[in-house]
Amino acid sequence: MFNRLYGKFSKDIGVDLGTANTLIYVPEKGIVINEPSVVAINTKTDQILAVGKEAKYMLGKTPPHITVTRPLTHGIISDYEVTEKMLKYFIDKIHEDSRSWLTRPRIVICVPLEVTEVEVKAVEDATLSAGAHEVIIVQESMAAAIGSRMPIRDAIGNMIVDIGGGNTEVAVISLSGIVTWKSTVVAGDEMNRNIIQYAREVFNVFVGESHAEQIKIKIGSAFELQEHIEFPMRGRDILTGLPKEVMVTDNDVREALARSVQSIVELIKMTLEVTPPELTGDIHERGLLLTGGGAMLRSLDQVIAEATQIPVRIADDPLTAVVRGTGMLLEDQELLELVRLPSARNGR
């Protein structure tokens, strides 16, 4: 009875709980939260000091009693309590304009393809503890395909490559189900680490993770650009310990990212090798779709197209494809029932 009451008066929401960012969709409002999955905590008082953008800005700049943490690793909850607090913060933020006590929402939330039953249960438990009255789990790649308006219900091979912060997933979808898939932890965060390692080995400079990400966004590419671009790399000199700035070019960053880009290309090839021939024919004709923040790396689509001899297109606003998919599922109960995963809490 209480579930029916909650369902009548509360707001349904869709959540993309990502390693790098958390996005929340509310029907009729659209995307209302788009914040980094970062939390700053005062370890003396165990209080949350900041969540999202404000917390991310504190990375690498805090005194010993303040811990800035990213509670998800490779799309999986690595710190249950902090994830719960972060979700509760975002849910409360959505409902702060509501005076009703009946504000426990039904939540559609995503998990990676390579996830265990224990990890699914952790997501369900954290979401319920954060304030949900019902939790529905769907796979990220499926949500991304739905959010990108791929015809997943048809008997057609739909190939999607979702490059997030913590992992890259390649999935082939047909008749509302995932036929074949592969995943790797080589994704956006690994690319940032590539740049940090390259800076240390080539320029003798220690750079922070946030600055490495900024360099990737500003001048990163997978294929040679028509016009060369530069960006200042700032960090600490390994030899002297003093601040140091060097100008890096798109060639430098491309060299740093080459191994990760090649790993993603190989993952796509391996997925195609185990895909049924009929679906492979569809994919060859229709092409594959790139989603996630990593899809925005310059000329990545061109490199994948040349390596696979398959047309490649990038989703409209690839960063929000997953959360838009959860929003569309909230409005299509029939499709939601088709793609939802069984609950790890009660075996539903």
Domains parsed from the chain with CATH numbers? 2-143+321-339 (3.30.420.40), 152-315 (3.30.420.40)
* Closest-CA residue to 172 (of 162, 160, 163): 160
Instruction: Specify which residues 234 forms β-bridges with.
Output: 245
d(CA 187, CA 72): 14
d(CA 195, CA 248): 11
Per-residue pLDDT, 10: 59
Instruction: Specify which residues 205 forms β-bridges with.
Output: 237
* Torsion angle of the four alpha carbons 33, 34, 37, 41, in this order, in degrees rounded to the nearest 10: -60
Whether 314 contacts 293, CB under 8 Å: no
Global confidence as pTM: 0.92
CA atoms within 13 A on the CB side of 107: 28
Contacts of 242 (CB under 8 A, 6+ apart): 236
Whether 140 contacts 110, CB under 8 Å: yes
d(CA 184, CA 264): 8
Question: Quick one: residue 342, left, alpha or beta (phi over 0 = left, psi -120 to 50 = alpha)?
Answer: beta
Residue-wise pLDDT tens digits, 163-181? 999 999 999 999 999 999 9
* Closest-CA residue to 201 (of 256, 250, 249, 260): 256
Gap between the terminal Cα atoms of the chain: 19
d(CA 20, CA 52): 10
pLDDT by residue for the chain (348 residues), tens only, comes to 444 544 445 579 999 999 999 999 999 999 999 999 999 999 999 889 999 999 999 988 899 999 999 999 999 999 999 999 999 999 988 877 654 444 689 999 999 999 999 999 999 999 999 999 999 999 999 999 999 999 999 999 999 999 999 999 999 999 999 999 999 999 999 999 999 999 999 999 999 999 999 999 999 999 999 899 999 999 999 999 999 999 999 999 999 999 999 999 999 999 999 999 999 999 999 999 999 999 999 999 999 999 999 999 999 999 999 999 999 999 999 999 999 999 887 654
Residue-wise pLDDT tens digits, 253-310? 999 999 999 999 999 999 999 999 999 999 999 999 999 999 999 999 999 999 999 9
Positive or negative, the CA dihedral 283, 284, 288, 294 is positive
